[in-house]
Amino acid sequence: MHLSPGAHNELARAILDQFLPRWLPGGAAIYVGDTGGKWGHFDRDALSKLGVTLEDHGKIPDVVLYDRRRNWLVLVECVTSHGPVDGKRHDELQDLFRNATAGLVYVTAFPTRKLMAKYLTEIAWETEVWCAEAPSHLIHFDGERFRAGRNICLHQRRGRTVVGGAHGAAAVVASPRVASPPPGS
């Protein structure tokens, strides 16, 4: 898929090349916005089969991915100059995808942790955060979908299934290393 040049589209490309195969193996891109031509890729039929019809491209998240295995629609906002999935955007996306037959996962993607830090206080609960500079890590803001306590496989590495802790901490970082549970677990 061709995307025009620019930081925003570079992050969208990283989502397709790094996030998608790592966190949603076997998943597919349904929509990828292109800042040069808003409809970089759009599989309307696939989205329609999942109960969603979109008219206004201005409200669509930057990237929409589908995880067939878990029946999830993963709604990704690329943050290079505009803000993350905050409370207002979470509600907008929830309304826009209200008829979806798949579970919804909200992800904010940043190119760097430094940029993420700028927006950290705005990120909504019940979402995930991914940084392209550390693609094997996912920051969990107490969302329901990627919770390891739900026996969900987060990552395959060197033949091992790696999951985070089964506790309900506010922010859990899942990484390719099996982390020790937090104190008191």
Domain of residue 106, CATH code:
3.40.1350.80
- Domain residues for the domain of 59 are 7-143
Burial 121-158 (b: 16+ CB within 10 A, else e): eebbebbbbbbbeebebbbbbebebbbbeeeeebbeee
**What does the pLDDT look like over 90-146, one tens digit per residue?**
999 999 999 999 999 999 999 999 999 999 999 999 899 999 999 999 888 875 555
Query: How many domains does the chain divide into?
Result: 1
Q: In this structure, is residue 183 part of a structural domain?
A: no
Q: What are 86's two structure tokens?
A: 């905050």
Q: In this structure, is residue 79 part of a structural domain?
A: yes
Residue 78 contacts residue 63 (beta carbons within 8 Å):
yes
Whether residue 85 is predicted with pLDDT greater than 60 in this model: the reply is: yes
Please state the φ and ψ torsions of residue 163, each to the nearest 5 degrees. -130, 160
Give the mean model confidence (pLDDT) for residues 151-178.
36
pLDDT range class, residue 147, cuts 50, 70, 90: low
Q: In this structure, is residue 161 part of a structural domain?
A: no
Q: In this structure, is residue 153 part of a structural domain?
A: no
Q: In this structure, is residue 149 part of a structural domain?
A: no
**What does the pLDDT look like over 24-52, one tens digit per residue?**
999 999 998 877 665 577 888 999 999 99
What's the farthest any 2 CA atoms get from each other in the chain? Answer: 51
Please state the φ and ψ torsions of residue 83, each to the nearest 5 degrees. -75, 175
